[in-house]
Amino acid sequence: MKYRVILETKDGVLAVLIIDGIKAPLCTSKLIGNIPSKCRVYRIGEGLVEIPLGASSILEKPTTRVEVGDVFYSPSTKSIYIALKSQRLTRRVTILGRLEHDEYLHTLRNLKEGLRVNIKVEAQ
The CATH number for 102's domain is 2.40.100.20
pLDDT score for 67: 98
pLDDT score for 34: 85
Residue 73 sits at the vertex; the CA angle it makes with 79 and 25, to the nearest 5 degrees, is 130
| Number of structural domains found in the chain | 1
Distance separating alpha carbons of residues 23 and 60, to the nearest angstrom: 9
pLDDT score for 124: 87
Kindly give, in sequence order, each residue whose CB lies less than 8 Å from that of residue 116, ignoring residues fewer than 6 positions away: 9, 38, 39, 40
pLDDT score for 55: 85
pLDDT 10s digits, 3-59: 999 999 999 999 999 999 999 999 999 898 888 889 999 999 989 999 998 888 889
What domain range is 104 assigned to?
A: 2-123
From the list 85, 17, 87, the residue with the least C-alpha distance to 53 is 17
pTM over 0.85? The answer is yes
